[in-house]
Amino acid sequence: MSYIERTMKSEKVYEGKVLNLRIDTVELPDKKYSKREIVEHPGAVCIVPITSDNKIYLVNQYRKSIDKEILELPAGKIEIGEEPKECAIRELKEETGLTANKYEYMTEFYTSPGFCNEKIHLFFARELEEGIATPDIDEYIDVKTYSLDELLHMIQIGEISDGKTIIGIQMINATFASKNE
Amino acid sequence: MSYIERTMKSEKVYEGKVLNLRIDTVELPDKKYSKREIVEHPGAVCIVPITSDNKIYLVNQYRKSIDKEILELPAGKIEIGEEPKECAIRELKEETGLTANKYEYMTEFYTSPGFCNEKIHLFFARELEEGIATPDIDEYIDVKTYSLDELLHMIQIGEISDGKTIIGIQMINATFASKNE
């Protein structure tokens, strides 16, 4: 059965730098109306930069939304006209200084489809070369490396609390496990 | 090093049913100012309802934000004054009709800390009993069951594209794997 909601009215509440907010009035399958608050986001990339001996680079940064520092895989918003892979190359370089000779597309997923259209494109980055980070002028980032086993343990005990980072680490582990089978 | 951003000004742009939007003017570590667009969300729960023979219940529903149907673990927004576990019990019953005799807290994570404070609390639900679903009047949901192996494969090939669902399935798989070791 298909439950598509027809848009009867769409009101743009805010247009910003990172996101827009709009309120849609929709017609439900029973013909009644409801409102949907929708955050529009241009999409993002997330990168798992992994060395030949399975060390993974993460970034620690303060996030205003949650008012604390949080450990994440390198990631960033896709700019207008930018391809996801191009964005991955740029963000990895900016946040960590790393360049990778090999990028592998892993998967893509929605972070919060209940109210937001943000889609994250996930990449592995291998054959890494270190360089100088050039973060945005409003980004303050510490780069750290961990072994895959350490990170899996940190997920289990709740020390990794960023969704895309949990997914990236679990996905690379699943890929390695399936190759060893 | 600590990179806390001091709030110099905070402007509420929108107050809604599911979310609020505010714009904070912040002071960066170098004393310059920047703006942060922040979506305030009350938090949510996500439930992995799993039978004794490892079948997992998912819900298929249309999401206006992405204008398509998407397969997700049962989940929902925390109501005012509600505890996460209480919310998990309520949402599981509403969306699937299921009641569980055993709830296990798994972990919690942020879906998009770059611009949103939404935190999802993840629970396993076991010893399930079927019943009558009572979705909200604006929710249209199909309930489906899959084996854990099917779901792991669907994640690998990109057929599961909801972030919290990928995390829930990968976490239950990791928990089972660690118990079998």
- The domains of chain B are located at 6-40, 44-180
Is the pLDDT reported for residue A8 higher than 60? yes
Mean pLDDT estimate for chain B: 95
B142:A63 CB<8 A: no
Query: Tokens in use for B103?
Result: 């709830």
The answer to whether residue A121 neighbours chain B at the CB level (below 8 Å) is: no
Mean pLDDT of B5-24: 97
Give residue A140's pLDDT.
Answer: 87
pLDDT in tens, B146-161: 999 999 999 999 999 9
The answer to whether residue A94 neighbours chain B at the CB level (below 8 Å) is: no
Half-sphere exposure of B171 (CA within 13 A, CB side): 32
Nearest-neighbour CA in chain A from B80: distance (Å): 18
pLDDT in tens, B113-122: 999 999 999 9
Query: Tokens in use for A128?
Result: 């890494």
| Residue A49: C-alpha distances to residues A24, A79, A176, B97 (Å) | 39, 21, 14, 42
Give residue B1's pLDDT.
Answer: 58
Is the pLDDT reported for residue A7 higher than 80? yes
DSSP characters over B8-22: EEEEEEEE-SS-EEE
Is the pLDDT reported for residue B181 higher than 60? no
The answer to whether residue B101 neighbours chain A at the CB level (below 8 Å) is: no
The answer to whether residue A8 neighbours chain B at the CB level (below 8 Å) is: no
The answer to whether residue A117 neighbours chain B at the CB level (below 8 Å) is: yes
DSSP conformation class of B83: -
Best residue in A8, A142, A166 for a mutation probing chain B (most B CBs within 10 Å) = A166
DSSP characters over B114-150: TTB--EEEEEEEEEEE-------TT--EEEEEEEHHH
Give residue B21's pLDDT.
Answer: 98
Best residue in B17, B63, B142, B180 for a mutation probing chain A (most A CBs within 10 Å) = B63
The answer to whether residue B14 neighbours chain A at the CB level (below 8 Å) is: yes
Nearest-neighbour CA in chain B from A89: distance (Å): 19
- Give the ipTM: 0.96
Mean pLDDT of A29-48: 96
Confidence of residue A3 (pLDDT cuts 50, 70, 90): confident
Please name the residue of chain A whose CA is at the shortest distance from the CA of residue B67.
A4
Fold of the CATH domain A44-180: Nucleoside Triphosphate Pyrophosphohydrolase (3.90.79)
Residues 49-88 of A with CB under 8 A from B: 61-67, 69-70, 72, 75, 77
pLDDT in tens, B98-143: 999 999 999 999 999 999 999 999 999 999 999 998 888 888 899 9
B4:A75 CB<8 A: no
Q: Which residues of A touch B12 (CB under 8 A)?
A: none
Which amino acid is present at B64? K
Which residue, A73, A179, A178, A93, is CA-closest to A135?
A93
A32:B117 CB<8 A: no
Give residue B138's pLDDT.
Answer: 82
- CB nearest to B38's CB, from A44, A65, A142: A65
How far apart are alpha carbons A67 and A53 in whole angstroms? 34
Confidence of residue A166 (pLDDT cuts 50, 70, 90): very high
pLDDT in tens, A78-133: 999 999 999 999 999 999 999 999 999 999 999 999 999 999 999 999 999 999 98
